[in-house]
Structure 1
Amino acid sequence: MVTTEKVDQGVKTRRVAVIGCGHVGLTVAAGLGELGHSVVGVDVNEGLVTELCRGELRIHEPGLADLVRRGLDSGRLAFTTHYDYAVPEAEFIFLAVDTPQTLAGAADLRNIRAAINSLAPALNGSSPIIVNKSTSPIGTGETIEELLREALVERNVRARIVSNPEFLQQGRGVDDFFHPDRIVVGSRSAVDALEVASLYEGLHSEVIVTDLRTAEMIKYVANSFLATRISFINEIARLCESIGVDIDQVVEGVAQDPRIGSQFFRAGIGFGGSCLPKDVAALRYVGETFGVATPVLSAVQEVNRMQRTSAVRRLQSRLGSLEGRRIAVWGLTFKRDTEDTRESPAIDVVSLLSNAGAHIQAYDPAVAANPSLVPERFRPFLRATPLEAVQKADALAILTDWTEFKDVDLVTVRAAMINDLIFDGRNVLDQAEVEALGFAYIGVGRSATLPRRRRTDR
């Protein structure tokens, strides 16, 4: 359940502009509005802004639609394409634009530069605090200062830059906003940093005040460490497969140690999305720029790539050639409870299967509602329900951990399939229950077995 905090009495209402209305920007804008601030979200996409003004969202984020509609109804939240409407009166301007990965692995700052160039003329002599929420390289705060310097010098105004990295997980971003583990604010000025922290009064979280570069580094290190945990347990899972040990029991035993815990410690087909892959690559790039080797981060990336190919290889080991084989796929987004397919391991696995000659029949609840989320070449693969996807399939591959997949009637699934093979790339299903129904089950880090019953024994 998604929950929000009530605004404490006496919290001072501040005027805020949020540049960029994607996952992060929209969650931050709606969240700050819920906390009692007056917020205007700015985006260059006219169609998106029109939809947001009607309370319609393109993204799947539990609780966010209700939050946006409450903000609109209260008058505390508005959206526009015009910087000169949102910026002149703002006391705080949040940058929440995308910073995609370049071919070299660096974060691309074109969107940040464009946002700064657009907002600078609208400052009108004011000196709001520029808050960088975009995940961007160490030193970006100084870059923003340089970009603003010329515009501000003419008005005799100093740049006030604060780095306030976000720690919002897709699929639980609203909960993470209202229940943060910590609030990090970095600036040359402790006063400016604390001004930004004051926006979150009522959330009762520890505030960590640093300089600009340290705040930027905290974000990269946090995401890279989470990616490291995932790649580590996936490497151990492959070892478990080879020696006949169950990864679930290993994780249960290891995670009881409070120094380790169980978060981001589940075996699967690897991590994806718009954050972890990009941030690991960007941190590696920072190391290369300063002449510092990062072999651990290199290994994290390599293990993550291998999980995709391992999935295909394990299917081939049971089916033989994939040429002409009909493979049902459940899940295309990079994780459950999101519509995001960027860097999705599921998309990579489907591409590999298709390249090997397999015929794909895929279902994903988010993609079924909006097929444009996947490349055009994938759209002929799409099916409207999980059961449509498994019709006459040689194997079922579960590639995203959507909760609804646990509730599908597997007896009906088995009746619809030609063969009895399930590859559970997210360890969603209970292996013993699946095998009791006569399926041959392959999990990640779980001991694979042959079906207990032949199809002719039904």
Structure 2
Amino acid sequence: MESTILNISVIGGGYVGLVTASCFAYLGHTVRIVEIDTKKAELINKGIPPIYEEKLEDILKQTSGKNLSAQSHYEGIDDADIIFICVGTPPQDDGSADLTYITRASESIGSALKGSEKYHVITVKSTVPPGTTESVVIPAVMKSLGDTSDSVGFCMNPEFLREGRAIDDFLHPDRIVIGGSSEKAISVVQKAYEKLDALVITTSLKAAEMIKYTSNAFLATKISFSNEIGNICKRIGIDVYEVMKGVGYDHRINPYFLNAGLGFGGSCFPKDVMALIKLAEKNGENPILLKSVIDVNEQQPGRIIQVLHTRIGDIRGKRIAVLGLAFKDNTDDVRDSRSIPVIDELLTQGAIVSAFDPMATESMKKIFPDITYHTNAGDALEGADACLVLTEWPEFSKLTDEFNRMKSPVIIEGRRILSCSGIEGVCW
């Protein structure tokens, strides 16, 4: 039986939107991206990814100009079977989710669909607080649409993409979650994923929204828990990685996200846990555990500075090599990277920072334009009084002779990646 080919519009050509659109096009659907940044839209149409993501360039080359296109306006989306909302939900000053872009996109979609006789399913893929689709998206769309009929359906289809591995995660998911306003709406979204071999979970709109927040909060909790155990282990001379290896074999726990280190960063975990905290407080709950997850994470980067002081004393005027700037390996994303508070503290205390990252240098220059950046690890290590390894890039595990270029062999890991001896970890 042949798979259904759908017309899909994706609102937002950022990280989630571009990966989503590209993968749906790869699956054979006809996909249009609405991206207000005209330069970004032009790059996409040329098959050039405006962000780095493994395998994304190959997929864009196969689909751009064929069944994938990008534009900076909403015209033409009235031919879409499904319209995915993939705009940002950045944190506000108090940590709650800013739904401005969600509201604007919903209003624009409603206006663009006015007069259309086709059935459309408007599907939120952005991470939003539970209740947002019902209380914000649906009213905004219907008000602009000026129609109270059943010509549109609504779904919530959260993404579970890891940066650096997003293409594989999309095409080989653990599960696909679809929350819907009706069985009809859910069935249309299910058709978009027909070619994928994955468990499909159908829920209410609110439950689908909560599943996304809960997944990220639980993973963040595992990380902060592991770091707290690591901090205790370091005090009493135990290798936390030996401990977590033994713990991870328990099938109720599993070994993933038990690697102690500097904590979590990136565009999702910090903002989503904070948004969930604010949502709980708004509804009269005091989320003690979630607050502790954030507290542990915020304190963890400072511990590597404490270890540094223990090893070399006052760091004023000392040359400190920093290897790894991205929040994780295989990406150029520095959003909430744990290297940011570390570098900030080094500079505050008068250290001279010499940095290297395989991909994230240009991104970090926007935050710290005045530190010295190098194109390889060896040059960053030249004459260094100490080295801090802050991102788990696989190539760092191959470094050996490069450390001989340091003034003194003080090497401290924030992520356990090095294979040479004489290394101290932030919590091991």
TM-score by length of 1: 0.90
Contact 1:163 1:186 in 2 (8 A): yes
State the AA in 2 paired with 1:32.
Answer: F
Q: Deviation at 1:413?
A: 2.1
State the AA in 1 paired with 2:349.
Answer: A
Contact 1:190 1:209 in 2 (8 A): no
Contact 2:157 2:177 in 1 (8 A): yes
Q: Deviation at 1:377?
A: 3.0
Could you give the per-residue CA deviations for residues 205-259 of structure 1, whole angstroms, max 9, x where no partner exists? Answer: 1111111100000000000000000000000000010000011110111111111
Q: Deviation at 1:373?
A: 4.6
Alpha-carbon distance between aligned partners in 2 of 1:237 and 1:400, rounded to the nearest angstrom: 18
Sequence identity of aligned pairs in percent? Answer: 38
Counterpart of 1:103 (choices 93, 104, 109) is: 93
Contact 1:148 1:159 in 2 (8 A): no
SS at match of 1:353: helix
Alpha-carbon distance between aligned partners in 1 of 2:406 and 2:262, rounded to the nearest angstrom: 23
Alpha-carbon distance between aligned partners in 1 of 2:23 and 2:301, rounded to the nearest angstrom: 36
Contact 1:18 1:93 in 2 (8 A): yes
Counterpart in the other structure of 2:67 = 76
Counterpart of 2:402 (choices 391, 408, 412) is: 412
Contact 2:108 2:144 in 1 (8 A): no
Counterpart of 1:442 (choices 420, 424, 427) is: 424
Within a 5 Å distance, the mapping from 1:104-253 to structure 2 comes to: 104-126=94-116, 127-142=119-134, 143-154=136-147, 156=149, 158-253=151-246
Alpha-carbon distance between aligned partners in 2 of 1:378 and 1:392, rounded to the nearest angstrom: 21
Within a 5 Å distance, the mapping from 1:346-361 to structure 2 comes to: 346-361=339-354
Alpha-carbon distance between aligned partners in 2 of 1:356 and 1:118, rounded to the nearest angstrom: 49
Alpha-carbon distance between aligned partners in 2 of 1:42 and 1:204, rounded to the nearest angstrom: 28
Q: Deviation at 1:154?
A: 4.2
Within a 5 Å distance, the mapping from 1:426-437 to structure 2 comes to: 426-430=415-419, 433-435=420-422
Alpha-carbon distance between aligned partners in 2 of 1:63 and 1:149, rounded to the nearest angstrom: 38
Contact 2:325 2:360 in 1 (8 A): yes
Counterpart in the other structure of 1:305 = 298
Q: Deviation at 1:293?
A: 1.2
Counterpart in the other structure of 2:323 = 330
Alpha-carbon distance between aligned partners in 2 of 1:310 and 1:341, rounded to the nearest angstrom: 20
Within a 5 Å distance, the mapping from 1:41-60 to structure 2 comes to: 41-60=33-52
Alpha-carbon distance between aligned partners in 2 of 1:407 and 1:361, rounded to the nearest angstrom: 20
Change (3 A) 1:18 1:373: farther
Q: Deviation at 1:354?
A: 1.1
State the AA in 1 paired with 2:107.
Answer: N
Q: Deviation at 1:68?
A: 1.2
Alpha-carbon distance between aligned partners in 1 of 2:370 and 2:19, rounded to the nearest angstrom: 29
Worse-superposed segment, 118-127 or 31-40 = 118-127
Alpha-carbon distance between aligned partners in 2 of 1:373 and 1:120, rounded to the nearest angstrom: 38
Within a 5 Å distance, the mapping from 1:8-27 to structure 2 comes to: 10-27=2-19
Counterpart in the other structure of 1:456 = none
Alpha-carbon distance between aligned partners in 2 of 1:82 and 1:27, rounded to the nearest angstrom: 19
Alpha-carbon distance between aligned partners in 2 of 1:149 and 1:57, rounded to the nearest angstrom: 34
Does 1:402 pair with 2:393?
yes
Counterpart in the other structure of 2:279 = 286
Alpha-carbon distance between aligned partners in 2 of 1:315 and 1:55, rounded to the nearest angstrom: 45
State the AA in 1 paired with 2:394.
Answer: T
Contact 1:152 1:158 in 2 (8 A): no
Contact 2:227 2:263 in 1 (8 A): yes
Alpha-carbon distance between aligned partners in 2 of 1:220 and 1:171, rounded to the nearest angstrom: 20
Contact 2:403 2:409 in 1 (8 A): no
Q: Deviation at 1:14?
A: 0.4
Alpha-carbon distance between aligned partners in 2 of 1:141 and 1:216, rounded to the nearest angstrom: 8
Worse-superposed segment, 142-151 or 292-301 = 142-151
Counterpart of 2:414 (choices 422, 425, 435) is: 425
Alpha-carbon distance between aligned partners in 1 of 2:363 and 2:333, rounded to the nearest angstrom: 11
Alpha-carbon distance between aligned partners in 2 of 1:164 and 1:219, rounded to the nearest angstrom: 9
State the AA in 2 paired with 1:384.
Answer: T
SS at match of 2:395: helix
SS at match of 1:88: helix
Contact 2:45 2:69 in 1 (8 A): yes
Change (3 A) 1:170 1:228: same
Where structure 1 has 5 or more consecutive residues not aligned to the other structure, the ranges are 1-8, 436-440, 447-458
Contact 1:145 1:159 in 2 (8 A): no
SS at match of 2:31: strand
Could you give the per-residue CA deviations for residues 67-124 of structure 1, whole angstroms, max 9, x where no partner exists? Answer: 1111125x11111112103x12111100111111111111111111121222222113
Change (3 A) 1:359 1:342: same
SS at match of 2:344: helix
State the AA in 2 paired with 1:30.
Answer: S
Alpha-carbon distance between aligned partners in 2 of 1:299 and 1:220, rounded to the nearest angstrom: 16
Alpha-carbon distance between aligned partners in 2 of 1:178 and 1:357, rounded to the nearest angstrom: 47
Q: Deviation at 1:383?
A: 1.4
Alpha-carbon distance between aligned partners in 1 of 2:84 and 2:389, rounded to the nearest angstrom: 38
Q: Deviation at 1:312?
A: 0.9
